[in-house]
Structure formats: C-alpha cells, structure tokens
Amino acid sequence: MRLDPRARLLLILLITTLAVLAKDIAYLAIVFFAALAVNAMLKINIIGAAKRMRHFIWLILFIAIVQSLTVKGGTALLSVGKINFLTTKGIGFAAEFVLRMGIILLAGLIAASSDGREMTDGLLKLGMPYELAFMSAIALRFLPVFRDEFVARINAMAMRGIDIKRLSLPKKLKVYGYLILPAVSGCVIKSEELARSMSARGFGAEKKRTMLRALKLTWTDWLVMIIAVLLTAAYLVFMYTYGNLFVL
Amino acid sequence: MKIELNNLTFSYKKRSAPVLEGVGAVFEQGKRYALTGRNGSGKTTLANLILGLLKPQNGNILINGEDAAKMSAALRAKKIGYLFQNPDLQLFAPTVMEELAFPFELTGTLTEEKQDELQRMLTIFHLNGMEERFPLTMSGGEKQRLALATVMSRHAEFLILDEPTSAIDRECRSFLTNFINGFAGGALVITHDEELIASLDSPHLLKLEGGRVHEA
Ligand SMILES: Nc1ncnc2c1ncn2[C@@H]1O[C@H](COP(=O)(O)OP(=O)(O)O)[C@@H](O)[C@H]1O
Ligand SMILES: [Mg+2]
C-alpha cells in the first residue's frame, strides 16, 4: 500500500507513544502486533530486516537477559543460597524491555521504508521548521550506513580473534562497550563534518524555500489516519478504565 | 602461506548479476600483488570473500591447501591480516595502548612477553608517546599505523590492504611502502594509486574487470 509520508508519520507517532504509555506486557503485546500489522500492510520485508539487524536484536536480548538476572523482587524462580538469580519481576521487566524495543524497531522500519525526501516534505507540510525536518531526514538517511558500519565492526572484532559467543558475561559486556564507543563517537564526528559542509554551502541562508514536488493526501491516507486515531483512542480509554491486565 | 582462489562466483542478491564471476588467482608467500580495477568492480568484495566475511555462491578458496570454508573467521584472521579502507571501523578502544592490548586481555593471553612485544610495536609503528591518545581522533596516517600494529600483533602471514593511501599524507606513504616491501609474508594491495604501485618492490599486477581477475 502506498501511503503519504504524513500518514506514515502519524502511524509512527501513535505506535511509539503507545509503546511508552502501555501499562503492562499485555498492552505492549497489543501494540507490538499492531506495529507488525502496519508493517505487513505497507509490505515491508520484516524477516529480511530482522536478518539484517540480527546483531542488534541479539544485543537487545542480551541486555534483557542481564536485566532479568539482576532485577530483584517478585517470586524467586532460581536461587543459590540467599541470592535470587531469576525472579518473576526480573522476567517481566525483561519481557517489557524486549517488546518496547521491538515496537520501536518496527516503527523505525516504517520510517526507513519511506523515501527520505518525501518524509522531509511531509514534515514541512505539517509546519515543522525546515531545519528540523531536514535533520530528521538526515537521521533516516544515515540509518543504513550505521547498520553497515556496525556489521563491519563486528567482523573487525572477529578478526581480532574475539569470538563474542564464547566470552564470559562481563567480557561480553566489555566487547559491546567497544562496539558502541566508536559508533557513538563516529556519529558525533560525522555530524560535525556535515554541519561544516552545510554552512559552507549556505544552508539556511534563504528564509523562504520553494518545493519541487507537491504532496497530496488521498482518501486511503485519510482513512488509514482516521482508523489509526480511533483505534488509539479506544486503546487508551480501555487501558485507563480497566487498568492492568497482567500483574506479576 | 599460499592462498588459491578457484572459480569464485559471488553476487549480493540472488537474482542480480554477479559482482565476481569465475575468479581465479594464486597469492604466495613473500610476494606483493597490486590489484586495480574501476570503482565498484568488486575489489572490496573479493577481499571480504578471502577473509570469509562473505561466502561465495560457487568456487572455493584454499589456504595452504585447506578449504577455507571449513575455517572459522577467527582462524582465517590469524593467518590473514586486513587493513580496512576506513580504519575507523577496526579501532575500538579509548586509548592506543588499550587498542593493542584488549584482544589479548579478553582472551587471557596478555603475558609479560606479549606486553613487551606490544611495546616494541609502538616503536616500529611510530606510535611512541601516543599511548594515551584516543585512536578515532588521530590523523589518517596514525590510525592506519595503529591498525597495522593491531594486525601485526597477531602475526599475520598475509596482508590485504584496501586502498591504503586514500586518507594519508606523503610522509605516511613512505612508511607504508617501506613496511609492505619489508614484510616477509605476502601482501595484496588494492589500489588505484599509480605512485604506490610504482614504489612497491616488483609487484605482480592484477586487474579486476568484468567480474574476473586478469594479469595486467
Ligand atoms: N553490501 C552490499 N550489498 C549490495 N551490493 C553491494 C554491497 N557492497 C557492494 N555492493 C556492490 O557490489 C559492487 C562491488 O562493490 P565493491 O566490492 O565495494 O567495489 P570496489 O571495492 O571495487 O569499489 C558494486 O556495484 C557495489 O554497489
Ligand atoms: Mg572498495
């Protein structure tokens, strides 16, 4: 289905808002499946994307496992002496974390499947200042680059003779630190370069901008947006009326 | 050390035209190879295949006569060192010293001899006095020398260098060519740089064209 960037943005906004507001695992699961459905509707190749992001997904699962082992409280499922290792609360926290990250990744896929230029135009039409819209488009544009670089770093790590799978837990954490540090500082360095080259080309010098392509909302776009808003409203009313569905 | 490529065929997507089609080549100990080819002709792809980071759809790679497909990436990397086109992707640690030491620390092999050896690496690769610098903010040439030091600290027998002169200045070039010419193992230099090729010690000239490697 072809969808106007503004309709896509609305879906992303609703999905991520619900991911934050959802009260428990059951509510999160609903949002997760809704996000899956939107991806399917837009014919996004979820399995392909999951394969490409498998290292990132492993990282999320890994953090979840660490979380479930370290959160105290609830009923103990596994204890050695006086120390509880696995508690119901820990597992609940971990499951919530995995669902939330999953929802955010799915929302990210919706964004990444759109044309960056069209997305900027959509944001502009919504009245967002050009600088902000431009920044968001750049962030999207760089996503695949970051993914490729992350894969290259994992390979480079293996070529240093480090087999992440075979390391102990604290050492694994250390390796993930090594993978994240250069990725983050690389971001900062890249954005500084970009800022410099943009001001060199006179970005922001002209106040009034003209557009080459015009966007128009179709009735499908309107229908999708209205249904999405209605479903979200129903979801929120239900959640705030009935409260938690799932108590640990 | 001998690397043989037999009839290698590779494409990134199943249905798209292959980047490499029936590539054959032999790389031997103590020899230098210069591989040229247009942008996008598949030079980096070929390097990634040799390193086992990509798998060929057809053909095989023999390392000292052994089928490389049966070796782990870590085992291959013990024999073959790779210098990325962008050294930023192979530097991880917050300091130069830690960059050299961390793989050995993590695998519990940082002995006193190893530490002495790493100290000597600093001297060989002109990194003395930079032990506490943050690798990612160093100059192109310094990053490259550090990346080389990390590769050599694993005693690589064969080196693959992907466009090694694309981000370094003149002074660093002479270090690089001296290093490659003095290296006892084999080296495959992927480059467009005529000047670099001219300064290599009797290199075998290869060209990647139309998905195949030709003697140039
Ligand atoms: N990860 C990738 N996925 C799909 N296509 C790729 C990928 N990497 C490279 N290619 C394509 O394969 C071809 C060869 O690329 P590459 O090996 O990087 O060439 P070179 O290093 O000679 O410039 C190019 O057409 C490039 O667009
Ligand atoms: Mg290349």
Q: Is the pLDDT of residue A180 over 90?
A: no
At A214-225, the pLDDT tens digits run 677 888 889 999
Pick the more confident residue, A206 or B159: B159
- A210 — pLDDT class (breaks 50, 70, 90): low
- Average pLDDT of the residues of chain B: 93
**Ligand 2 centroid to residue B191 C-alpha, Å:** 9
- Name the residue at shortest CA distance from atom 16 of ligand 1: B42
Name beta bridge partners: B6: B60
Count CB pairs under 8 A between chains A and B: 62
Hey, is the C-beta of B153 within 8 angstroms of any chain A C-beta?
no
Reply yes or no on whether the pLDDT at B27 is more than 70. yes
With CB atoms and an 8 Å threshold, state whether A160 touches B103.
Answer: yes
Q: How confident is the model at residue B83 (pLDDT cuts 50, 70, 90)?
A: very high
pLDDT mean over A71-99: 79
| pLDDT classification of A208: cutoffs 50, 70, 90 | low
SS3 for B78-133 is HHEEEECCCHHHHCCCCCHHHHHHHHHHHCCCCCHHHHHHHHHHHHHCCCCCCCCC
A192: pLDDT strictly greater than 80: no
Q: If pLDDT is split at 50, 70 and 90, which confidence band does A211 have?
A: low
ipTM greater than 0.85:
yes
Question: Which one is predicted more confidently, B30 or A127?
Answer: B30
Q: Using alpha carbons only, give the angle B150, B154, B185 rounded to the nearest 5 degrees.
A: 100
Residue A186 and residue B53: Cβ atoms within 8 Å? Answer: no
Residue of A nearest to B77 (CA): A159
Percent of chain A with pLDDT over 70: 93
Helical spans, DSSP H, in chain B: 43-51, 73-79, 96-106, 112-124, 140-152, 170-182, 194-199
Whether B155 has its CB under 8 Å from any CB of chain A: the answer is: no
Please tell me if residue B74 touches chain A, with a CB cutoff of 8 Å. Answer: yes
B117-146 residues touching A, CB cutoff 8 A: 136-137
| Contacts with B136 from chain A: Cβ below 8 Å | 182, 185-186, 189
Residues of A in contact with B90 (CB under 8 A): 153, 156, 159
* The pLDDT value given to residue A214: 67
- Closest by CA position to B19, among listed B1, B50, B44: B44
- Kindly state the tokens that stand for B215: 């003697």
Q: Which of A153, A159, A174 sits opposite B82 (nearest CB)?
A: A159
**Domain boundaries, given as residue ranges, for chain A:** 5-202+218-233
Residue to substitute from B91, B92, B104, interface A, most A β-carbons within 10 A: B92
Cross-chain residue pair A179–B77, CB shorter than 8 Å: no
Q: In angstroms, rounded to a whole number, what is the distance separating the alpha carbons of residues B208 and B46?
A: 9
Report the nearest-CA residue for atom 11 of ligand 1.
Answer: B40
Average pLDDT, chain A: 82
Contact B95/A at CB under 8 A: no
- Cβ atoms < 10 Å from Cβ of B69: 11
Calculate mean pLDDT across residues A132-156: 78
A4-8, A38-42, A203-207, B159-163, range with greatest mean pLDDT: B159-163
- Mean pLDDT, range B45-69, rounded to an integer: 93
Number of domains in chain B: 1
B125 pLDDT above the threshold of 90: yes
Lowest-pLDDT choice from A64-78, B69-83, B86-100: A64-78
Q: Can you give the residue range of the structural domain that contains B23?
A: 2-215
Which has the closest alpha carbon to A190: A143, A153, A155? A143
Q: Is the pLDDT of residue A246 over 90?
A: no
Output the domain CATH number for residue B192.
Answer: 3.40.50.300
- Cross-chain Cβ contact A182/B84 below 8 Å: no
Report the distance separating Cα A93 and Cα A76, nearest Å.
14
Query: pLDDT tier at B200 (50, 70, 90 boundaries)?
Result: very high
Is the Cβ pair A179, B92 closer than 8 Å? yes
pLDDT at A81 (0 to 100):
73
Q: How far apart are CA A136 and CA A120, in angstroms?
A: 7
Residue B17 has pLDDT above 70, yes or no: yes
The pLDDT assigned to A248 comes to 61
Tell me the C-alpha distance between B27 and B179, whole Å: 18
The pLDDT of residue A190 is 74
Q: Lowest-pLDDT range, A21-25, A69-73, B195-199?
A: A69-73
Which residues of A touch chain B, with CB atoms under 8 Å apart?
149, 152-153, 155-163, 167, 171, 174-175, 178-179, 181-182, 185-186, 189
**Pocket residue to mutate for ligand 1, from B16, B45, B160, B206, most atoms within 8 A of Cβ:** B45
DSSP line for A195-216: HHHHHHTTTT--SS---SS---
Average pLDDT for residues B133-154, to the nearest whole number? 95
Both structure tokens of A157:
């790590």
Is B154 in contact with A161 (Cβ distance < 8 A)? yes
Subunit contact A163:B88, Cβ cutoff 8 A: no
User: What pLDDT does A150 receive?
Assistant: 84
Q: Give dist(CA B60, CA B181) in Å, integer.
A: 29
User: Average of pLDDT values for A164-185?
Assistant: 83
